[in-house]
Structure 1
Amino acid sequence: MSYTLVFGLAIVAISIVRLTRSDIDLLLMLLDTALGILWLGAGVWRWRFGPRKWKGDR
């Protein structure tokens, strides 16, 4: 698993935890969620289309 996927999941999880708090800073939570989604997208892109080792390169 790529570090970008892990980082994106962590940021989205933090944003969800902020929703449960009584003093919600809505703008900060929305920015954190957007950043987390961007990191998740980058992680999926790296996992899906990243360079792969060929079996013939031994």
Structure 2
Amino acid sequence: MTLPAPVPTPVEPPAPATPTTPAEQGCTHTVVSGETLSAIASRYVGGEGRHPEIYARPTRH
């Protein structure tokens, strides 16, 4: 007895990752006098040591 070939099940592509941090959500921040990149990095990207990521981002003047 011959069985029919199985029908392939369609596979949906995975959903895009949901932004979880303000930086991933594309927020902006206006730097005020006295703020440091370390403090901004702590608030937006999860750690003072990640301040180079803030420095490397494009700026608007």
| TM-score over 0.5 for the pair | no
Per the normalisation by structure 2, the TM-score is 0.27
Per the normalisation by structure 1, the TM-score is 0.27
Higher relative contact order (CA 8 A, sep 6+): 1
Structure whose CA Rg is larger: 2
Give the structure with the larger helix fraction: 1
